[in-house]
């Protein structure tokens, strides 16, 4: 039972984190930065990758 609750929480938090990372990636400031320097903000990568990992771990807990 606790694994299922933890899995659901991880999936929800992971989805929110990935969405936040994408929003940072897609922001106007980030687009200007990518245009001028070619660099993607570290927060965007951390959010998207961290969110994906949380979702995957959460799904594995649900099984």
pTM: 0.83
Q: How far apart are CA 8 and CA 1, in angstroms?
A: 11
Q: From its phi and psi, is residue 39 left (phi > 0), alpha (psi between -120 and 50) or beta?
A: beta
Count of the separate structural domains present in the chain: 1
- Please name the residues in contact with 61: beta carbons below 8 A apart, sequence gap of 6 or more: 3, 4, 6, 7, 10
Range of the domain at 8: 2-62
Q: What is the tens place of the pLDDT at every residue in 7-61?
A: 999 999 999 999 999 999 989 888 888 888 888 888 899 999 999 999 999 999 9
pLDDT at residue 41 in the model: 84
């Amino acid at each position: 039972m606790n694994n299922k609750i933890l899995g659901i929480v991880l999936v929800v938090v992971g989805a929110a984190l990935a969405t936040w990372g994408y929003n940072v990636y897609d922001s106007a400031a980030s687009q200007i930065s990518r245009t001028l320097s070619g660099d993607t903000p570290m927060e965007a990568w951390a959010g998207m990758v961290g969110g994906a990992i949380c979702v995957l771990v959460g799904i594995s807990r649900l099984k």
